[in-house]
Chains A and B, each alone.
Chain A
Amino acid sequence: MMHSPADVDALIPLPPATFHILMAVAEEERHGYAIIQHVEASTGGDLRLSAGTLYRSIARMLEQGLIIESMKRPAKAIDDPRRRYYRITPFGKAVARAEARRLTQLVRLARAQGLLTEPA
């Protein structure tokens, strides 16, 4: 599927859960529970996604083309056939990058206004 820059802009700003899930599957393919664990660890326990929020986000992100289901499976010994693995798409990467840029600009602005004293 081809996506234009306008498609990217249409999704910005991203809901926080979506952004975190995108980052979680950007590094490597992950299944649902792994995403929850990753998000929790990377936010220092601040964000604990519930099962419902996670899969509702996944359903929407699949539809929007931000992520796809991966066909690659881990080694038989550690695989659970019920699990599905997701990875980020190039479009998902573009959207995540755009969102990161937006947040950076916000932080820069806040610093210029003297709202932030130490480097973020």
Chain B
Amino acid sequence: MRWYRALLHLYPASFRDEYGDELSAVFARTHGGASAPGRALAAIVDILPNAIAAHWEIFRQDLRYCARGLRRAPGFALTAVLVVALGVGANTAAFSLADFVLIRPLPFPRSDRLVRVNGDNDISPGVYRDWKRMTKSFEAMGAFNFLSANFVAQPEPQRVDGARVTADLLGVLGVRPMIGRTFTDSDDRPGTTPTIVIAYGLWQTYFGGDPGVVGRAVNLDGTPHVILGVMPATFNFPNRQTRFWKPFQFAATDYEDRDNSWIFAVGRLHDGVALAQARSDLQLVTSQLEQQDPRERDRAGAPPYLLRDGVSRQARLLLQTLCGAALCILLLACANLANLLLARAVGREREMSVRAALGAGRERLVRQLVTESALLAVLGGVVGVLVAMASVPPLARLAPNTLPLASEPTVDLRVLVFAAVLTAITGVVFGVIPAMRVGRVSPVEGLREGARAGGRRQRARFVLVTVEVMASVVLLISSGLLVRAMLRVQATSPGFRTDGVLTLRTQLPLPQYEAVAHRSAFYRRVLTGVRALPGVSSAAYSTGLPMAMRGGIWDVSIAGRPVVRDGSQSASARFVTPQFFKTLGIPLRQGRDVEESDGIDRPFVAVVSEDMVTRYWPGENPIGKRFTFGPAGERSVVGVVGNVRVRGLERSSEPQVYLAYQQVDDGSIIGYIPKDLAIQSSAPARTLLPAVRRIIREADPEQPISGVRTIAEIVADETASRLAQLRVLGVLAAIALLLAGVGIHGLLSFMVSQRSQEIGVRLALGARPAGIVRMILREGVFLATAGVVPGVAIAYAAGRAMQSLLFGVRPADPATLLAAVVLCSAMAVVGSLLPALRATRVDPARVMRAE
């Protein structure tokens, strides 16, 4: 029977208290004759289903009761649901993004073993081969680099991104092709038939998912390539733009030049080998190589890191900021919900006391209150998940493109579990606390006429509102700092004009266009046609547009001066056609532009930026000065132009050197062949583009056009991620401010209703309404101040943590702090105004009568 008594605890306490004795008595009589195991079994069969049913019945009763109660207080219900929805929604969205970028494993088998062997740095094939041979920590090692190619297909040729890989790289990553095969060592040998493996996306768009595609030949950069296989849709290596893979086919000469670093190595660690071991292994190999050649130390650039951690510091910080902001919102939402529930509980104290006096047990009352807050939380959670689902796609733009992730971030099961946990915490924890407090009030105390809320509860609510103000100040200041930073970035002059310039890319394939004369004929034909179009004032070709092409840096040396190879004496190299400076609005300060007459048979010329002059010939006339520029050899300065922010608005750039497009040897400047066409025009891109396409098609029908965009778009891309982040933070800060305002308003309204007697007495004794308003406003300002002070301190710490995002704006930027404090104070005043006005409308006579 003791067993039966113990099992009785499965019943709801109220039911057990009421019927426990009788249940035991009846069970004893009905099962008295049975054996002990038989009785135990019967007890389980009797109690388990009935206990579940009893709980369910009470739950349904409570739910009905709650629904009735909430229908009677729709304002409360709606506010509570919205508050929870905001908290859960913001955090679910932030989590789905952070989980996607920072937490989730990469879509490769045992992906935690995969390592970028030389960090972000590239190495030469020779060094790669030695490392692969000499290291012991890696099970396998492969290499890749980025590549794009002209893909001749219907309806028109396209430029597609791909990667060159060593034959074993796909095996190192452990991913099998969906159909066909990947590369073998024989594909990797120079001179064999060119082969490629294509991505799922390319297979779908160009081949309609035809499984017979394997073995077919496609035209890539004018050469037929045989398709060996198709990779699955989840395989996006090295990044999500990759559409095809092609074997390296290193020649013997590729291994000789150990300074020519251009490939990236990926390794798979042996089981049980830690990253640190791999690092010391690599150091050992480097010091062995160093004995043969002391320069080997420089060639080993960066320590290895796990493939999973290939997220830039900036992207990581950005996501952390987002998560921090979302947590602030959750904190606010929880504080607000607790406050709402506390106020409601206090308002219902008498109802609860009456019910307790009528015999409802405390457990029953608490249980019912918890049901109510759980119901509110679940409703809020559901709405919150909807909010998150709507906000994840726009947020996905914040995800960096550098990781080989399987797909776009979405709200999936993992994220839903996270949302459910959040909801449970919000609803149950913040619902149970006020409920427990109510349960403790004795019926007599609650029923006593004129009973008032105790000071402790008031203090709890006060602290909650202070926390709300604090969280909103932190968000306001953080987003304010980021706004300031973005304004600063945007105010930075790029050095060229940003309006009315359309750009596009025609990457001429090799070896067809190896001859300079052949290329020049193409440029001249296109440029002559484009310049003749109505509205076009100038057009030019160049190696790369600023901010679109950031690298391309060559060493500068000047005869008679010591050669420094630390990277400080370098400049960005661009080959341009005439009119490049005019088209981009880069001011010509001195001398002349590159001209058509600057041919291969003429003196080699260069146009340089002002920085170049300041660095090498300060105070001298630069025209006619000579310098040696990387592989281009000796050039003499014929013109000086304004500086351009080649590396983007937020980074400093090397000086710029522009070379005449015809003054190079055939087949020499691979990678620097002019490919970007810029057109300065008063006609809109929409009308201009078809004509430009026609002109290019006439010049070469197999030549694809890619990357059509305006210069303004290229510059806007510079601040796009900042803008996206700012919008998110701005919205969160606005929500936070609103929630804090609601919190202050709620607390003061409640205080006014609680103190209506006191206010009535004061008014009856001759207090002026203005004085009463001042009294309530003072409370509001006090609440705001109590939150603002710690808020500013926390915001300063947060600002220091995200200093690298601030573009030189100081974390204690006075204008931002002032603006945030003013906004917060305004919010406090607005929040307390309504309750203050209500206080003046207290009717002394009525209040006194009630007493």
Contact = CB atoms under 8 A, between A and B. Distances in A.
Interface of A: 32-33, 36, 50-56, 58-60, 80, 82-84
Nearest to B11: A52
B495 to A, nearest CB: 81
Contact of A59 (B19, B21, B46, B51): B19
B54 interface: yes
Given A60-B57, A82-B21, A54 B15 contact: no
Nearest to A84: B22
Contacts of B21: 82
A80 B29 CA distance: 13
B27 interface: yes
B46 A82 contact: no
Given A32-B26, A33-B26, A82-B25, A51 B18 contact: no
A25 B179 CA distance: 76
A52 B20 CA distance: 10
A35 B29 CA distance: 13
Interface string B56-84: 01000000000000000000000000000
A74 to B, nearest CB: 16
The residue in A33, A36, A52, A58 that gathers the most chain B C-beta atoms within 10 A of its C-beta is A52
B695 interface: no
Given A32-B26, A51-B27, A52-B51, A59 B18 contact: yes
A80 to B, nearest CB: 8
A51 B15 CA distance: 13
Interface string B39-50: 000000111011
B774 to A, nearest CB: 54
Given A36-B30, A83-B22, A53 B50 contact: yes
Given A33-B29, A36-B30, A60-B57, A52 B22 contact: no
B53 interface: yes
A52 B23 contact: yes
B25 to A, nearest CB: 6
A56 B21 CA distance: 14
Contact of B30 (A51, A56, A59, A80): A51
A51 B46 contact: yes
Contacts, number: 51
A52 B57 contact: no
Given A50-B45, A59-B18, A60-B57, A36 B26 contact: yes
Interface of B: 15, 18-19, 21-23, 25-27, 29-30, 45-47, 49-51, 53-54, 57
Contacts of B22: 32, 51, 55, 82-84
A84 B47 CA distance: 20
A32 B57 CA distance: 21
Contacts of B18: 59
B153 to A, nearest CB: 70
B50 A56 contact: yes
A52 B31 CA distance: 13
Task: Give me the 10 closest cross-chain CB pairs, A-B, nearest first.
Answer: A52-B50, A51-B26, A55-B19, A50-B46, A51-B27, A52-B46, A51-B23, A33-B26, A32-B26, A56-B50
Contacts of A59: 15, 18-19, 54
Contacts of B54: 56, 59
A51 B21 CA distance: 11
Contacts of A53: 46, 50
A94 B27 CA distance: 31
Given A32-B22, A51-B46, A55-B15, 13 more contacts: A50-B50, A51-B26, A51-B30, A53-B46, A53-B50, A55-B23, A55-B26, A59-B15, A59-B18, A59-B19, A60-B57, A82-B25, A83-B22
A31 to B, nearest CB: 8
A95 to B, nearest CB: 18
Nearest to A33: B26
A84 B15 CA distance: 15
Contacts of A33: 25-26, 29-30
A23 B45 CA distance: 26
Nearest to B47: A52
Contacts of B27: 51
A13 B349 CA distance: 39
A28 B22 CA distance: 19
8 contacts: A53-B50, A55-B22, A56-B54, A58-B19, A59-B15, A59-B18, A82-B22, A83-B22
A83 B29 CA distance: 13
Contacts of A55: 15, 19, 22-23, 26
A55 B20 CA distance: 9
A50 B29 CA distance: 11
The residue in A50, A54, A60, A84 that gathers the most chain B C-beta atoms within 10 A of its C-beta is A50
Nearest to B22: A32
B786 to A, nearest CB: 49
A50 B51 CA distance: 12
Nearest to B50: A52
A54 B51 CA distance: 12
Nearest to B20: A55
Nearest to B42: A50
A42 B45 CA distance: 24
B63 to A, nearest CB: 15
A56 to B, nearest CB: 5
Contacts of A82: 21-22, 25
B53 A56 contact: yes
A60 B27 CA distance: 20
A75 B209 CA distance: 90
The residue in A36, A53, A55, A60 that gathers the most chain B C-beta atoms within 10 A of its C-beta is A55
A54 B29 CA distance: 14
A36 B27 CA distance: 11
A31 B617 CA distance: 112
Contacts of B45: 50
Contact of B26 (A54, A56, A60): A54
Nearest to A34: B26
A5 to B, nearest CB: 22
Contacts of B57: 56, 60
Contacts of A50: 30, 45-46, 50
B15 to A, nearest CB: 6
A33 B28 CA distance: 10
A13 to B, nearest CB: 18
A51 B25 CA distance: 9
Contacts of A80: 25
B366 to A, nearest CB: 20
A98 B25 CA distance: 33
Contacts of B49: 52
A52 B23 CA distance: 7
A44 B57 CA distance: 30
A59 B53 CA distance: 12
Nearest to A59: B15
